[in-house]
Structure 1
Amino acid sequence: MTIDATMVGRSYSAAESYQVGREKIREFAEAIGDPNPAYRGDDAVAPPTFAFVLSAGALDLLLADPDLGLRLDRIVHGAQKFNYVRPIKAGDEVAATATITTVRKAGDVEVIMYETVLTTAEGEQLATSTATVTHNRADA
């Protein structure tokens, strides 16, 4: 199946929320080489790109949707932007829902834009991520 406008609006919610731990924040900060002390300790806040970790479960569902027929070996992750309502903190329990916002074709290449909304278990919005993936359907 090829991507078309009927896919716009499909949403994918991660099956489980993610409990943000201070150690996970510290490990992530170390992995990206950021020594900022705000990313350490009992009151740690997450680096801005940590939101990708939180949104990965919802993205996995989008990429695995059999109706989209995507092959991971033919996908390139493009631009991504994060908009925050407030910082993500140690102790937050975060739910993620990804929604396809735009699809278009350029020959064999399909462009999928999606938005992922991160909220607390109580429904407080934390951040929104917008991203683009391209998928090539051409025979290898």
Structure 2
Amino acid sequence: MTTQIAHLADLAGRVGEVLGVSDWITVDQARIDRFAEATGDHQWIHVDPVRAATGPFGVTVAHGFLTLSLLPWFFDHGFVVNDTRMGLNYGLNKVRFPAPVPVDSRLRAQFKLLAYEPIDGGAQLLVEATIEREGASKPVCVAESLTRRFV
């Protein structure tokens, strides 16, 4: 269930806290194939199930950048700031992919607020997004995301 936060300004006092956890999403082969088509990354470990069966993971795995590209979906399903009219992706400070995402994995993200900085018309948020795979002990992606939200 998406966490509802009434006002952007309320986040100023929540630095260091978890803001929310997203719903689960399944990364199936069709999604992997569409990402490969969109990016031109047709590495066999992502798109060739027969060859991947003999590879290091025994199945195809999602592109790391596919996992990262799901951040907007995870944000939308993790927490909502009700009084913001728009948000912008401002960049990333650090991204790591500690573990693979085998085909048909279920993923979700947890969001921890690392910094809150007032800006003209809103605030800049530094949020640590930790993307986990159901049943796995290590996260599949940890990213520090900078967003700007406007009221």
Name the CA distance, whole Å, in 1 between partners of 2:89 and 2:71. 14
Question: Would you say the 8 A contact 1:54–1:96 is kept in 2?
Answer: no
Name the CA distance, whole Å, in 2 between partners of 1:96 and 1:62. 7
* Corresponding position of 2:63: 47
Name the CA distance, whole Å, in 2 between partners of 1:99 and 1:58. 13
Correspondences of 1:59-138 after superposition (within 5 Å): 59-61=75-77, 64-66=80-82, 69-72=83-86, 75-80=87-92, 81-124=94-137, 125-137=139-151
Asked whether 1:6 is paired with 2:22, we answer: no
Structure 1 residue 29: deviation in Å? 1.3
Question: Would you say the 8 A contact 2:27–2:106 is kept in 1?
Answer: yes
Change (3 A) 1:123 1:47: closer
Supply the RMSD in Å over aligned alpha carbons.
2.2
If the length of structure 1 is used for normalisation, what is the TM-score?
0.78
Question: Would you say the 8 A contact 1:12–1:58 is kept in 2?
Answer: no
Name the CA distance, whole Å, in 2 between partners of 1:56 and 1:108. 21
Unmatched segments (≥5 aa) in structure 1:
none
Percent identity, aligned pairs only?
Answer: 14
Unmatched segments (≥5 aa) in structure 2:
1-6, 50-58
